[in-house]
Amino acid sequence: MKNFNGKCAYITGGSSGIGLEMGKLLAAEGADVVLIARNKKKLDEAAALISAMRRDASRRVLTLSVDVSDNKDVVKKMKEAVKKIGAPDLLVNSAGINKWADRFENITFDMFDEVMKINLYGARNMTHALIDSIKEKKGHVVILSSAAAIFGMFGYTAYATSKAALLAFAESLRYELKPAGVSVTVVCPPEVDTPMNYDEAKTLPPEGRAVKSLGGFLMPDKVARDILDAVRKDRYFFVPGFSTRVLYALHRFTNGAITRITADAVIKRASSKH
């Protein structure tokens, strides 16, 4: 998808963070933007910001209050949306949480389940509900995974598991959709300055905080620009951030040995301080 002018983009997690920034960029390039999240107030605030970025006043910025973890809610509202708004040329699965970043023994079943339902099942539910209309338009599906899916991380047993599952989901989906003319892009960013960080900071152990700093820190507008560039180039797999790409290269080249040794040393040092 070289040009977004006149296209229709559905963005989950569109009320904040990377989703919000992608909405701004797409509106500025002439796309209709459909923001999807649970909080109606935040959606309205985000829509106002994005509306100010539109290329022209004819472009639409719409909101849908949807719980992506609730498949019945997703199916019902996506069916209505396609009828009223139109099918998406671009689906961005950006919704995610990480408010239960802690040692595994402190993660209850319900905590783990909530992360999986939103991060993994949310992408599954949205993609499945819209797959027929995306095929008709020969569109593009973007899936936000994480660098934690590649490396794993101290305190991330729930989050990293959900994001690693998205990698397998995206890989399998790519094989199925390519013959239909639909592209898939999966993105694995490091730490990004989003509201999710404030949730995880409440419980993330110091060892996890220390390891996380190895991957660098990016602003959401930079990641959003990188994602749209990856879509333009029809890239399947993309890791934003120079530091994270270096770590990824070392991880692959040494089969994880270098990154594990490094992380172990960082964890040992952080533990000794606490």
Which active-site residues does the annotation give? 145, 159, 163
- In three-state secondary structure terms, 201 is helix
DSSP single-letter state for residue 30: T
Query: Can you read off the two tokens belonging to residue 257?
Result: 């040995």
CA distance 103 to 135: 41
Nearest to 211 by CA among 147, 144, 120: 147
Alpha-carbon radius of gyration of the chain:
18
The H-or-E segment that residue 264 falls in is helix 257-273
Best CA proximity match to 9, nearest among 26, 28, 24: 26
**Is-contact 186 140, C-beta < 8 A?**
no
On whether the CB atoms of residues 220 and 195 are closer than 8 A, the answer is no
Whether 270 contacts 212, CB under 8 Å: no
